[in-house]
Structure 1
Amino acid sequence: MVTRSIRQFAITGILTLCIFLPGYAQPEKAEAGINALMQQKQVVGLSVAVVKNNKVIYSQAFGLKDLESGTPLDKDHIFRIASISKSFSATSIMQLIEQEKLSLDDDMSKLVGFTIRNPAFPETVITLRHVLSHRSSINDSQGYFTLDAINPDKNPNWAKCYNTYEPGTGYMYCNLNYNMVGTIIEKTSGERFDQYVKHHVLDPLRLYGGYNVNLLDSSRFAAIYEYQVDSARFVFSPGAYASRKEEIDNYQMGYSTPIFSPTGGMKISAGDLAQYMIMHMKKGRHRGQRIMSKQSALLMQAPLPGKENYGLAISTTDKLIAGKTLKGHTGSAYGLYSAMFFHPKEKWGIVVISNGCHPGYTDGFNTVIRQTVELLYNSLIL
């Protein structure tokens, strides 16, 4: 009996010790840290997911789904994830390229059906690659919620959509780029943008989400709030999930696409976004499905020349976690902040989404999102 008790004590001691050793997951530590962070900073809610060895090992939600009812945020609630949405659009383009229906070097004018040329450099072709990598010399100064902004037949100020440098020689992040990409997906595939992404990306990976709010369960939407620094209060953002039913009823294929916001309108949970991230980590394949080729996945992740380290809707950074070079994307809109970053060689990644938090930034990342990523990494990955 004494020997058995000693053995049990020794096993218990080893297990207890393992919890505090590097390399062992410490979810309690992560949760304590996140709860403390939410007390220190202004945060409505946080939903997180952690991937290790290409598998989701942790998924949890903190805070509130909405402030009005005080409903707790659940890990199955979905968010408009903002600019991480661009990678879904780029993934769809890579599929069409693999089918030889498109080329990255195609002329945007031919693809969208009206002239896309920087008036200062009329002989320089603006290509699909330029647009996907934000090297098109196009800007958002005329807006991006309709293609009328850049269409010479619709906007007398169309020339203001272009910067003063030659396409391909400079970088400017531009939402209009990706709303045009959505249009190209429609023109090339013959499917409405939201349906194409559902049928060819979400459904094969068994993910719940989409760009069309009318086809999703609104009870699962996490309300989004913008923090007003001057008044130190959160203001509800109704536009995040606004129905576009009337516009969809009068939809013009190959032109009305910005209604769905290919540049930022995906709605999905943190857990399902993590599953999508795994597909990119595994170079295009997940859950028994080949979504795109290894070559296409690597091309998306490869940063083009320039200090921005941006590829095709996937950026590369060494500024999020010290000593680690990560691939992924951030998002911010309506008060929401999101991040999806992974280390393809070490096979881990982290997704963090907040439906409202203080808008402060540290080294190019929202401070609340950044600190949450660090907590999850230190507790569950390191």
Structure 2
Amino acid sequence: MLKKLWKKATLTSLTLMALTLPSHAQNTKTEADLQALMQQHNMVGLAVVVVKKGEIVYNKSFGLKDVENQTPLSNSDIFRIASISKSFTATALMQLVEEGKISLNDDVSKLVGFQVRNPKYPNKVITLRMMLSHTSSINDSQGYFTLDTIDPAKNPNWAACYNDYEPGTQYEYCNLSFNMAGTILEKLTGERFDQAIRHRILDPLGLYGGYNVDSLDAGRFVTLYEYNADSSIFSPSPSAYNPRRQEIRNYRMGYSTPIFSPTGGMKMSAADLAKYMTMHLNKGEYKGTRIISKKSAKQMQSKIADNGYGLALKTEKNLIPGKSLVGHTGNAYGLYSAMFFQPKEQFGFVVITNGTSAPEVNEYNLALAEVINSLYNNLVK
């Protein structure tokens, strides 16, 4: 009896795989299209992952990991994924909301430990929800690599960190806000930011990655290449993986957090990022492990700003014609990344390039947009 049940289960599993996995013809067409797009947009390397019904059905790497040594890019290599990192910070904070330790309506001043007020609207509370949705009126004009820029006790020009409009009324993308959000996570958990993310998200999901360079295998880092449009030359960006050892040695818990860049410093492979994405696609759960509640997942994906931005996840209606996708993009040191999924139809994409001549328009890279459309037309549609 058990043998029959096992055989039936195995056949069912194989049938589902046959229905899900792309055919040889689909793979051949997909790879030809992607190679053509790489050539068209001068892409150094390209990693792509397609998810359908909660499973990775396609994962392929093209081009070079390192131009100088002509090392080919592989699926196990890891990138600094840039601003997609913001969603990890927000996900961990949503766990604290569920634990009753904070509220999205809390005053950021009380959470971060110094006054956070737009001087033009001194009586208007700037909330955690505003910070995570880029509607706080805070800007990056003074930089965002240290909290000193916005701390009134440290920067005489702190008022320049705020825009003219009232907090909560308009959107402006802000990296400083998410470095502050990471600081809040650190203060509330009592764990250094990189370790808090590891314990709360990475380890439970079985993902290899992190914000601390020295905790990872440097041999797996993908070299990132900045493109200079005037000279048409790609230059490597070694600072993308700066270990910041001296700064970490002098670390101040609850203030030095920007050293790890909660706003953009996660390092991870495209495949592991796709598993993390699938957790959000499945409303907070992956392979039996729940990271956040369905309610929290829905809050993160729900529009707050006029452009569709929620809590570190954005609804994008123009990426694939006729499809509303949820996700995030990244752009730093020459790298461009994109993570987008369709919650109802249960498909999603992770695409990352370590260098391209294609520009970024409307917060996503044009080459990656074409790659996503190719993957959708060849493997999903």
Instruction: Report the TM-score, using the length of structure 2 for normalisation.
Output: 0.93
Corresponding residue for residue 337 of structure 1: 336
Once the two structures are overlaid, the 10-residue window that deviates more, 289-298 or 32-41, is 32-41
Corresponding residue for residue 313 of structure 2: 314
Q: Is the 8 A contact 1:185 1:193 kept in 2?
A: yes
Structure 1 363/89 Cα, relative in aligned 2: closer, same or farther at 3 Å? closer
Q: Could you tell me how far apart the structure 2 residues matched to 1:358 and 1:304 are?
A: 32
Q: Is the 8 A contact 1:319 1:363 kept in 2?
A: no
SS of equivalent to 1:169? coil
Q: Could you tell me how far apart the structure 1 residues matched to 2:287 and 2:200 are?
A: 14
Q: Is the 8 A contact 2:170 2:305 kept in 1?
A: no
Q: Could you tell me how far apart the structure 2 residues matched to 1:168 and 1:273 are?
A: 31
Corresponding residue for residue 297 of structure 2: 297
Aligned pairs (5 A) from 1:222-261 = 222-261=222-261
- Cα deviation, residue 37, structure 1: 1.3
SS of equivalent to 1:296? helix
> In the alignment, residue 326 of structure 2 is paired with which amino acid?
K
Q: Could you tell me how far apart the structure 2 residues matched to 1:265 and 1:328 are?
A: 17
Deviation string, structure 1 residues 23-50 (Cα, Å, up to 9, x no partner): 9981111100011111222110000100
Corresponding residue for residue 87 of structure 1: 87
- Cα deviation, residue 362, structure 1: 5.1
Q: Could you tell me how far apart the structure 2 residues matched to 1:43 and 1:377 are?
A: 20
Corresponding residue for residue 190 of structure 2: 190
SS of equivalent to 2:329? strand
Q: Is the 8 A contact 2:41 2:358 kept in 1?
A: no
Corresponding residue for residue 322 of structure 2: 323
Q: Could you tell me how far apart the structure 1 residues matched to 2:92 and 2:69 are?
A: 38
Corresponding residue for residue 5 of structure 1: none
Once the two structures are overlaid, the 10-residue window that deviates more, 35-44 or 192-201, is 35-44
Q: Is the 8 A contact 2:49 2:350 kept in 1?
A: yes
> In the alignment, residue 231 of structure 1 is paired with which amino acid?
S
Q: Check if 1:143 corresponds to 2:130.
A: no
> In the alignment, residue 166 of structure 2 is paired with which amino acid?
E
Deviation string, structure 1 residues 212-264 (Cα, Å, up to 9, x no partner): 00100000000000011111110111110011111111100000000000000
Aligned pairs (5 A) from 1:102-121 = 102-121=102-121
Structure 1 252/300 Cα, relative in aligned 2: closer, same or farther at 3 Å? same
Structure 1 248/362 Cα, relative in aligned 2: closer, same or farther at 3 Å? closer
> In the alignment, residue 352 of structure 1 is paired with which amino acid?
V
Q: Is the 8 A contact 1:25 1:381 kept in 2?
A: no
Instruction: Report the TM-score, using the length of structure 1 for normalisation.
Output: 0.93
Q: Is the 8 A contact 1:142 1:161 kept in 2?
A: yes
> In the alignment, residue 357 of structure 1 is paired with which amino acid?
T
Q: Could you tell me how far apart the structure 1 residues matched to 2:135 and 2:23 are?
A: 41
> In the alignment, residue 130 of structure 2 is paired with which amino acid?
H
Q: Is the 8 A contact 1:24 1:380 kept in 2?
A: no
SS of equivalent to 1:119? coil
Q: Check if 1:369 corresponds to 2:368.
A: yes
What stretches of structure 1 move > 6 A for 4+ residues in a row?
Answer: 22-25
Corresponding residue for residue 279 of structure 1: 279
Q: Which runs of 5+ in 1 are unaligned?
A: 1-17
- Cα deviation, residue 359, structure 1: 3.7
Q: Could you tell me how far apart the structure 1 residues matched to 2:273 and 2:236 are?
A: 24
Deviation string, structure 1 residues 242-296 (Cα, Å, up to 9, x no partner): 1111111110000000000000000000000000000001100112211010000
Q: Could you tell me how far apart the structure 1 residues matched to 2:103 and 2:158 are?
A: 26
Q: Could you tell me how far apart the structure 2 residues matched to 1:130 and 1:25 are?
A: 47
SS of equivalent to 1:129? helix
Q: Is the 8 A contact 2:171 2:305 kept in 1?
A: no
Q: Which runs of 5+ in 2 are unaligned?
A: 1-17
Aligned pairs (5 A) from 1:198-217 = 198-217=198-217
Corresponding residue for residue 68 of structure 1: 68
SS of equivalent to 2:320? coil
SS of equivalent to 2:49? strand
Aligned pairs (5 A) from 1:34-73 = 34-73=34-73
Q: Could you tell me how far apart the structure 1 residues matched to 2:24 and 2:30 are?
A: 12
Q: Is the 8 A contact 1:25 1:380 kept in 2?
A: no
Q: Could you tell me how far apart the structure 2 residues matched to 1:68 and 1:27 are?
A: 29
Aligned length: 362
SS of equivalent to 1:319? strand
> In the alignment, residue 178 of structure 1 is paired with which amino acid?
F
Corresponding residue for residue 288 of structure 1: 288
Q: Could you tell me how far apart the structure 1 residues matched to 2:296 and 2:25 are?
A: 33
Once the two structures are overlaid, the 10-residue window that deviates more, 357-366 or 243-252, is 357-366
Q: Is the 8 A contact 1:279 1:285 kept in 2?
A: yes
Q: Could you tell me how far apart the structure 2 residues matched to 1:295 and 1:40 are?
A: 42
